[in-house]
Amino acid sequence: MDLLRSLRTLAILAVLLYVLLSGGVFAQNGIPGHPLGTSTPDGSFTPRTTRYELTVRDTIVNYTGKARKAFTVNGQMPMPTLTFTEGDTAEIVVHNAMEKEETSLHWHGLILPYELDGVPYLTTAPIKAGETQVYKFPLLQSGTYWYHSHTKLQEQNGMHGALIIHKRHAEPMPEQVLILSEWTDMKPFEVHRRLHSANDWSAIKKHRIRPGTVQSYSDAIKDGALGVKLTNEWKRMNAMDVSDVYYDLLFANGKPVDEAPQFKAGERVRVRLINGGASSYFWITYAGGKMTVVASDGIDVEPVEVDRFIMGIAETYDIMVTIPADSTAYELVATSEDRVRSTSLWLGSGIRQLAAPLQPLKYFAGWR
């Protein structure tokens, strides 16, 4: 019996040694000659390699009357939307055209070889100034994803973009990508420093736009909550902070307001929503009726009709909306959780139909 086991072990080792020495590579389906995970022709589907060339540069932008540093890819901010088909191979060539800074790109939510994940000094080498890096990997999934820099805080200054993978044999339908983000004139590292100091600067700035955010004594008196305020002060409790950072602007596809006038009455539009913000949660509402959530983080879900929903940082959702009538543009609005700012995408063309605004938060209500 021991001799039989020994012979079986030797046979297995011999097969493994043969495979290693012969250099043969086998796919998950056992077909030789294809790297693990790479698709093979399937009926009417023939996989292909989809190639993008991306060039990273630093630049100066001015959104509020103040010139500030930002990052562009192929001259745009946010970065270009990358579109693929499930089963294809992605080949993405990244050129760092900056003079001094290194950079990186991380493919958020994608299943790929770890060495291509794009986290510098952990899984992937950084892209030094003047260098080029090639990412090539099979696309094993479909859905709405995004990609962004993983170097320092470059993501906050423009290095984020949508990455869409369509299903094989999917029927064409109207769709629109919407990536949400924020903009501050403050340097990202200064934002980081102030968060550590836990001061009220952001709340004071917000108070000028949306009174009540600092939860002052006068705010408490107006809200009939002076006793609550005094009790909190006695307990040395800081004011409630719904969103930590004050932002000068919120962006829809890199603009305070974006438009998609191509949609017509009666069309069902798939909107691919991406929260590419650094710290904001967004409430999503639509002027044209209910929204149907059909996917979350790239995965199909049981369709759910909603009047509004909230998106966390880095989340993606696919929603279906209807364009009710011609000659009207319907507002799809993203409002920050603190209700201070919002950004909009207008679907359709014509007279603008506003979505109902969210009411200010009642900060003291939760303390009673």
- CA 316 to CA 297: how far, in whole Å? 5
C-beta separation of 209 from 249 below 8 A: no
CA count, 13 A, side-chain hemisphere, 236: 0
Residue with the larger pLDDT of the pair 256 and 364: 256
DSSP state string for 351-368: EEEPPPPPPPP-TTGGG-
Query: Following DSSP, what letter does each residue of 157-223 receive, concatenated?
Result: GT-EEEEEEEPTTPPP--EEEEEEEEE-SS-HHHHHHHHHHT-SHHHHHHHTTSTTTT--HHHHHHT
What's the angle, vertex CA 257, arms to CA 203 and CA 172, rounded to 5? 125
Which of 79, 112, 138, 142 is CA-nearest to residue 316? 142
Pairing of strands 82-85, 160-166: parallel
**49-168: what fold?**
Immunoglobulin-like (2.60.40)
For residue 368, the model assigns a pLDDT of: 60
Cβ contacts of 63-70, under 8 Å, gap ≥ 24:
63/183, 63/185, 63/248, 63/249, 64/185, 64/248, 64/249, 66/185, 68/185, 69/157, 69/187, 70/157, 70/158
DSSP-derived secondary structure letter, 115:
G
Contact between residue 288 and residue 321 where contact means Cβ atoms under 8 Å apart: yes
C-alpha 99: how far from its chain's center?
28
pLDDT digits 0-9 by tens, 13-38: 554 444 334 433 322 222 333 333 33
Burial grade of 92 (CB within 10 A; 0-12, 13-18, 19 or more): buried
| Residue 247, helix vs strand vs coil | coil
102, 52 in Cβ contact below 8 A?
no
CATH 2.60.40.420 fits 173-368, yes or no: yes
In angstroms, rounded to a whole number, what is the distance separating the alpha carbons of residues 185 and 197? Answer: 19
State residue 194's pLDDT score.
87
User: In the prediction, which pLDDT does 33 show?
Assistant: 32
State residue 207's pLDDT score.
80
Q: Are 201 and 213 in contact (CB under 8 A)?
A: no
Positive or negative, the CA dihedral 150, 128, 157, 299 is: negative
Question: What are the start and end residues of each CATH 2.60.40.420 domain in the chain?
Answer: 49-168, 173-368
pLDDT reading at 102 higher than 50: yes
Cα 297 versus chain centre, distance = 9
Q: What Å distances lie between residue 91 and 37, 49, 270, CA to CA?
A: 15, 7, 26
Please give the helix or strand (H or E) that residue 250 lies within, else none: strand 249-252
Q: What is the mean pLDDT of residues 91-119?
A: 96
What torsion, rounded to 10 degrees, do the Cα atoms 116, 119, 124, 128 define?
120
- Residue with more model confidence, 213 or 120: 120
Residue 3 has pLDDT above 60, yes or no: no
Banded pLDDT at 44 (limits 50, 70, 90): low
Give the SS3 label for residue 228. helix
On whether the pTM is more than 0.75, the answer is yes
Taking alpha carbons only, the member of 360, 363, 272 closest to residue 316 is 272
3-state secondary structure of 293: strand
Alpha helices, H only, 208-274: 217-222, 226-234
pLDDT (tens digit per residue) in 120-162: 999 999 999 999 999 999 999 999 999 999 999 999 999 999 9
